[in-house]
Chains A and B, each alone.
Chain A
């Protein structure tokens, strides 16, 4: 009985030793999940407020995780990539049409049949060939309509663009911290 107790004590000691002496390793995903609220508009605003309060010799405040801050300044992109599967599904469903439409850009032309620069013209009849084809223009229009319906014409892609930039910053930070 005494021997079993001493073995158990030894295990506990070893465990606490490894916690205190060995370096705490953090994976990239853990780092991204831990810092998602810091790298959001709410986190940036909190940093600004705390810098002002610190300059006045007052203690800082923490509001980046309050409902009002996350409602206006949370980062849904971090939630999509590093949150739970249900979060990912929700965010993706709401944001995919707008993001896809932005990603597709405009239909470009290459090679020409009617142009002033003769050396690049192609022999034969027909209009300008489309690099992505007519179908892509149709899909892009459909995605634009879907995005307008989802956002009721309010275009919330503005917020997503900011969140995407902040997520890129967060990824760079976590890459640096975990390398």
Chain B
């Protein structure tokens, strides 16, 4: 196997792992939400529920500079589900009808968010970017837990966060490109 093919395979596997990880991260958030919103008989489920939510939050913030590179693939998966719903009128593995208008809005918003996240992936994250990404995830996930209309509103709010980060970066000047530690800086940032 050539070097190029091996690196492409590694990249494919990484993308798949991140997508699976994103779904399981959502499951962790859901588990925490179920435990704290149920009718527990003692303090134990509350503690476990809040611990699950805290771990999910810490994971999200600590690994942000890594998962932001793969965010557009997660959003691509969301867009695929929405596109199938537009044509079919229902989601994959489901017979229940899903509003086509909502599916269309979700597809457009996920595409727009994906395109902006592509620019975030290509540069070093600033503090503002990190706050915007936390806002994006909170809005998008919060909307998903409510209902289809709330999901659209949440994704629209998340898009506003990402757009704000993009506009701020455009106004700030030439971007700081991502690079390996010790590698040469971007030509636009060389002194002199």
Among A46, A53, A68, A154, the most chain B Cβ lie within 10 Å of the Cβ of A154
Q: How far is the CA of A48 from the CA of B83 in the complex (A)?
A: 28
Q: How far is the CA of A156 from the CA of B84 in the complex (A)?
A: 12
Judged by a CB distance under 8 angstroms, whether B148 is at the interface is yes
Q: Are B44 and A56 in touch, CB under 8 angstroms?
A: yes
Q: How far is the CA of A63 from the CA of B80 in the complex (A)?
A: 20
- Among A61, A65, A71, A91, the most chain B Cβ lie within 10 Å of the Cβ of A71
Count A interface residues, CB 8 Å: 48
In the bound complex, residues from chain B placing their C-beta under 8 Å from that of A159 are 19, 73, 76-77, 80
Number of residues of chain B lying within 8 A (CB) of chain A: 49
B114 engages A152 (CB within 8 Å) = yes
Instruction: Given the known inter-chain contacts A45-B26, A154-B73, please indicate yes or no for A67 contacting B88, CB distance below 8 A.
Output: no
| Contact yes or no, B19 A162, CB < 8 A | yes
Q: How far is the CA of A81 from the CA of B84 in the complex (A)?
A: 15
Query: How far does the alpha carbon of A82 sit from the alpha carbon of B138 in the complex, in Å?
Result: 36
- Bound complex: CA of A35 vs CA of B88, how far in Å? 20
What CA separation (Å) do A40 and B85 show in the bound complex?
Answer: 17
Contact indicator B23/A42 (Cβ below 8 Å): yes
B145 pairs with A68, CB closer than 8 A: yes
B151 within 8 A of A: yes
Most chain A beta-carbon contacts within 10 A, residue among B38, B73, B92, B115: B92
Residue of B15, B24, B26, B91 contacting most chain A CB atoms (<10 Å): B91
List residues of chain B with CB under 8 Å of any chain A CB. Answer: 5, 12, 15-16, 19-20, 23-24, 26-27, 30-31, 34-35, 38, 44-45, 48, 72-73, 75-85, 87-88, 91-94, 96, 98, 106, 110-111, 114-115, 118, 144-145, 148, 151
Identify the A interface with B (CB < 8 A). 36-37, 40-42, 44-46, 48-49, 52-53, 56, 58, 61, 63-65, 67-68, 70-76, 78-79, 86-87, 90-91, 93-94, 106, 151-156, 158-162, 165
